[in-house]
Each structure stands twice: as structure tokens, then as C-alpha cells.
A and B are shown apart, each in its own frame.
Chain A
Amino acid sequence: MPISMTKKQEIIQQLLASKTKAYQAEVKLLLKQKPAEANEVKNHGKELSRRIDNLIAETMSDWIGNSDKLISDVKLINKKVQRSINDINNNVNIAGNIVKLVGFIDELVEIVDGIT
């Protein structure tokens, strides 16, 4: 399944991969009893993580901006579809009114029949 991403999302994806590598390196250093080096990698990794957080927040803001317009568009479409449904219902009502009209004509015929 092809996944489409915006430029920002592609960057985030790459940064997430880099952060994972940084975290793996930190663990290896800790296991090798090199806490000072591990700490340095950790600090850089944390900075990278903060940047990723900011980028994700930006992506969310972008999305909220775009989606407001799209949600309004679909709401407008919904109004139009509702109007179509009302038109159809109205047509059914007209058919019903024709029957009522025939009923009135019938009453008139009966009245005429009674007079003549």
C-alpha cells in the first residue's frame, strides 16, 4: 500500500529513524560502561526529540488549518444533498396532493349530481 506523505511528514519520518539510532547508540555506550559518552549522545538525542515534537505540532497546526476548509466544503455538500432529499419529498407530497384534488373533484361531482 503506497503511503503518501507531506514534505514535513517525510522529514519527521527520517528524524524518527535517526532518533532511534541515537537511542540505540546510547544504550550500547551504557552497556559498555561509558556513561559520559552515553550522556552526551542522550542530550543530543533529546534535542532531536524536541525538534521532532515541534515539527509534529506544526504538522498538526497545518492540518487543522486545511481541514477547517474541507469540513466546511463537506458541510456545504451535505446541505445540497439535504435539499435534494427535500425536493424528492416535495414531489411525493405533490403526488399526494393530486390525489386529494381528485377527492375534491369527486365531492364536486357528487354535489352536481345531487343538484341535477
Chain B
Amino acid sequence: MADADNPFFISKPPVFLKAKKFKLGVSKANLVWLEYSNLLLQLSSKELVDDEKFSKLSEELNNNAFDAVQSLKDQPSDTSAKNTALFSELAIGLAKEYIRTKQKEKLMESLTKNQVSIDAYVENIKSAIVTMAQSSTQEHSEKQQNLTRDLIGLVGSNEKGKNDVKIQKNIGDMIDIKTTHSNQMESLQALYAAYGKIPAAHEALATRLSKSDSSIAAINDLLEKGIQLHSSYEAKAKVNKAELVQAKADAASSEATTAEITYQQAKLKYAQAQFEYTLSQNSLNSDLDNGIKKKDAEDKKKLADELKLEADTLKESSEALRAAATAIQESSNEVKNSIINN
């Protein structure tokens, strides 16, 4: 059916509309990469298996184990105390080592498994950068040519020579366009080169990890550089990026708030169960031989203990989510600042 005969025919959207969608896509791809490198950073972070947390555990275990030994012996000797401490430190050390090994294994596994996808991702982004460069050249050459035509017209009709204000303005505009275009090309070329380094850097991480406890800060630096360079590309893209980055931070904050509420609810449930258990225990104390009351108290204690464990776990995860949300907000502020400064 010819276009003219088609009642549903719409003309092709202008290139700038397509370009807007395209830039939003590049922003999304950048964000998903930001999330990936943040997760890798978390997975490689020493804080995930925090030394402080383990020394606190070791201290608690020492106290508990030592009290247990002390209660079994009337005169605890220094030797038994030392042995107990040695045992608990060994146990905590082994637990920490086990978790650290698991952490390293998981990080290396992620790096190795994801290499192919990262290669494909980088090729895709590099291709987007080439299109951005071509689109920029196309746009600037049109503006440049219009100004050149105007300039020739002005030169042909002017009487004041090079002192003509219109000619001076025209030449100034041409210089501005050339400068803008050359800055964009420089940024895009640097961005292309920065992304080009990511696959090798990603691959090198797994190798370095097998040798020492290295950080992946370098890969994050590359990404940050990429985002900063990209943000300088065009004001329109800046707005979209800032909005997207903030949306990400808002989503993380809302997730943390939900987790905090869930934790508060679990804490309340635990407090109620603990109260019920205390009532049963009081009732049992006045009637120690009553089997039904004994069973009731035991059941309530079990439930209260289970709810406490659940509340503790929820507390930890809500704290972790809040910390992550704060980090994302800070990182989003940095990205937004870099957008404003560029």
C-alpha cells in the first residue's frame, strides 16, 4: 500500500527523537555497568568479611567458652583459660578463612563467567560511541556549511571589509562550532579508549586475585571516567542521566525503608512472643510438676528464640540495605556533581 493511501501512515520520526532514545539507552547501559562494578567491589571488599566483626565474635566466644569451663571447675587455672582462648581463636580463624576462601572463589567465578558478557557489552558501548561521533560530525558539518554560505554572501555584499560586525559574528560562530565539535570528538575518543580497556582489566582481575588480595578499584575508576566523559557529551543527555542516577538512588532507599519496616515488625513479633513465654514461665514456676504448662513454656521459648533469630537476620540485612542506599545516593551525588562540573 502506498504511503498516501495508508490511513495509518506516519512519517519517520526526526533523527533528534531517535537520538534522544539512543542516548537514554546509553545511559541505561552505563548504569547497569555501574551496578555491576559496585557489586564486584562489594564482593571483593574486605568489609564483607569484616575483621572487626570476627574479633568481636572471637571475644564473645572466648568469654562464653571460658565461663563454661569455669563453671565446670572450681579452680580454673591459667592453662585452661589459655587453652580455651586458643581453641576459640582457632575456631573463629577457621570460620573466617573458610568464608574468605568462599568470597574469593565466588568473586573469581563471577569474573570468569561474566567475561564473555562484559566483552559483548563493551563492544556494544564502543559501537554506540562511534555512532555518537558520526552523529556529532553530521550535525556540526551542517551548521558549519550554513555559516560558510552566509559568510560568502556577507563577503560578497559588504562594504566595510573585515570590520563588518556581521562577518565578525559569523566567523566567531564558525570558530565556536569547530571548538565544540573538536571537544566532543576528543571526549568521545577518550571514552572509546577507556571502554576499550575494560575487558582486559576485567580479565586481569581474576589473574591478580589468584595471586594476592587485590582491589578492583581500577575498573571502577575506568567506569567513572567513562561516565564523566559521556556526561560532557550533551546537555540533554546530562538531564536524563542525572534523573536516572537519582531514580536508582531513590529505588535503593525505598528498598532499605521496606527492609527496616519488616525488621521492626519482626522485632515486635519477637517482643510479643517473649512476653507470652514469660507469662507461661511464671505460671509454671508456681506449679512445677504440671507437664502441660511445662510443654507450653518450652514451646513459647522455642518460638521466641526463633523469632529473635529472624529479627536479628532482618536487622542485619536492613542495615546492609541502608548502607548500600546511602552509598548509592553518595555515588549518585558524585555523578550529578561531575555532570554539573563538566
Contacts and interface: CB of A to CB of B under 8 A. Distances in A.
Contact of A78 (B35, B49, B72, B135): B35
A92 B99 contact: yes
Contacts of A87: 102, 106
Contacts of A16: 134, 137-138, 141
Contacts of A52: 138
Contacts of B28: 67, 71
Contacts of B95: 95, 98
A54 interface: yes
B126 interface: yes
B130 A3 contact: yes
Contacts of A78: 32, 35-36, 39
Given A64-B25, A70-B121, A102 B130 contact: no
Interface string A63-107: 110111011011101101110110111011101111100110110
A89 B320 contact: yes
Interface string B8-19: 000011010011
B134 A56 contact: yes
A60 B313 CA distance: 47
A105 B141 contact: no
5 contacts: A16-B141, A23-B148, A49-B138, A96-B53, A102-B68
Interface in B152-202: 152, 192-193, 196
A96 B43 contact: no
A43 interface: no
Contacts of A57: 12-13, 15, 18-19
4 closest Cβ pairs, A-B complex = A60-B22, A84-B106, A81-B39, A95-B95
A88 B18 CA distance: 44
A12 B140 CA distance: 15
B126 A77 contact: no
B141 A20 contact: yes
A93 B316 contact: yes
Given A49-B142, A99-B61, 5 more contacts: A9-B127, A61-B18, A77-B110, A81-B110, A85-B48
Interface in B117-140: 117, 120-121, 123-124, 126-128, 130-131, 134-135, 137-138
B145 interface: yes
A13 B136 CA distance: 12
A99 to B, nearest CB: 5
B158 to A, nearest CB: 15
B67 interface: yes
Interface string B80-112: 000000000001100110110011001101100
A9 B124 CA distance: 13
A109 B177 CA distance: 83
A23 B130 CA distance: 23
A69 B199 CA distance: 19
Given A5-B130, A74-B36, A88 B117 contact: no
Contact of A59 (B32, B53, B131): B131
A74 B32 contact: yes
A78 B121 CA distance: 13
**Max count, chain A CB within 10 A of own CB: residue among B12, B18, B50:** B18
A19 B18 CA distance: 22
Given A31-B152, A71-B28, A77-B36, A103 B120 contact: no
B279 interface: no
